[in-house]
Chains A and B, each alone.
Chain A
Amino acid sequence: MLFAPPDEPNLSAMASSTASNRWLDEHGDALFRYAYSRLRDEHAAEDLVQETLLAAWRARHQFAGNSSERTWLVGILKHKLADHWRRRARESKTFEPPPDGDDAGQDDLLTRIFDAAANDHWRSTPSAWRDPDAALEQQQFWRVFADCLARLPPAQAQAFSLWEIDGVTGSDACKVLEIAPTNLWVMLHRARLRLRQCLESRWFEPTSKG
């Protein structure tokens, strides 16, 4: 034959197109739920599903097949989530550079909270929270919680998210974050100090006492 089969590239494109559409059909809902459970924002979650499937499509040759498609796609989604948090943190005015090693930013947080001149007492004493368990029943509380989480420096948000929310083991979390365990405890502590402050000011004491 002197002529090449004319439609071959298109045929393979069509076959692949059905593959990515199949991902959407089979895993779209699950990916959306996962993203939504982390973000509490429908549109952002939809965007992440799209980004995830596009990234998966571009990286389709890297799918080794030694994990399930679902696991592979969720793995990509987790990266997209981390990117999303990083973007949010950069946009947010409250963003502080993430701690790497013992930079000044780290001490800043603790210096703001504890008064070195007064034997490291709380500058502002943690207040008594009224009925915290009732908060867990309220939709609005979870939006505040998600927002406070989004305001953390990205590395801390990721540490807290992996360890406290996803229940990833310490050694796995350290591998993902590329840090030593002692560093993980410190990051978690900082994340908690910030989350505590954020929840206190945004939920437990929404109006300042006059």
Chain B
Amino acid sequence: MLTCKEASLLVSQSIDRRLSWRERWGVRAHLFICAACRRFKRHMEFLHRAAREYAAEGLRTVHRYGLSAAARDRVRQALAREL
């Protein structure tokens, strides 16, 4: 039987790569008896969704505006100083 430490690593990796038949079987057996790792798995799935949403959400939020006029001036001056 896998330990929580081993099972959590495989749960995490199942997001990144296809687990082998043996690994999948091991994780499934562990999750069947371990509520903590079942919760961990839900957290990992949430984290995965959140990460994808993160960039999209950030772009939506700032879509209406870009650099402020003040920031633009500051950058322009910094560039001018560099010449």
Contact = CB atoms under 8 A, between A and B. Distances in A.
Contact of A21 (B3, B17, B49, B76): B76
A20 B6 CA distance: 52
Interface residues of B, number: 46
A49 B49 CA distance: 28
Nearest to B13: A185
A135 B63 CA distance: 21
B4 A196 contact: no
Contacts of A167: 52
A158 B53 CA distance: 17
B55 A165 contact: yes
A201 interface: no
Interface of A is mostly: helix
Contacts of B53: 136
Interface residues of A, number: 58
Contact of A189 (B3, B9, B75): B9
A120 B3 contact: yes
A32 B66 contact: yes
Interface of B is mostly: helix
A54 B39 contact: no
Given A28-B72, A196-B43, A33 B62 contact: yes
Given A13-B83, A40-B58, A126-B36, A164 B63 contact: no
Nearest to B60: A37
Contacts of B47: 164, 192, 195-196, 199
B79 A33 contact: no
Interface in A29-46: 29-30, 32-33, 36-38, 40, 46
A16 B79 CA distance: 10
B82 A165 contact: no
* Residue from B42, B47, B63, B68 with most neighbouring chain A CB atoms (10 Å): B47
Nearest to B78: A50
Interface string B1-39: 001111011001101110000000000000000001001
3 closest Cβ pairs, A-B complex: A29-B66, A37-B58, A120-B3
29 contacts: A21-B76, A24-B72, A33-B66, A37-B58, A46-B67, A46-B68, A46-B71, A49-B71, A50-B74, A50-B75, A50-B78, A53-B78, A53-B79, A57-B82, A119-B3, A120-B3, A120-B4, A126-B36, A129-B39, A129-B42, A129-B46, A132-B42, A142-B58, A145-B50, A160-B51, A164-B52, A166-B55, A195-B47, A196-B43
Interface of B: 3-6, 8-9, 12-13, 15-17, 36, 39-40, 42-44, 46-55, 57-59, 61-63, 66-68, 71-72, 74-76, 78-80, 82-83
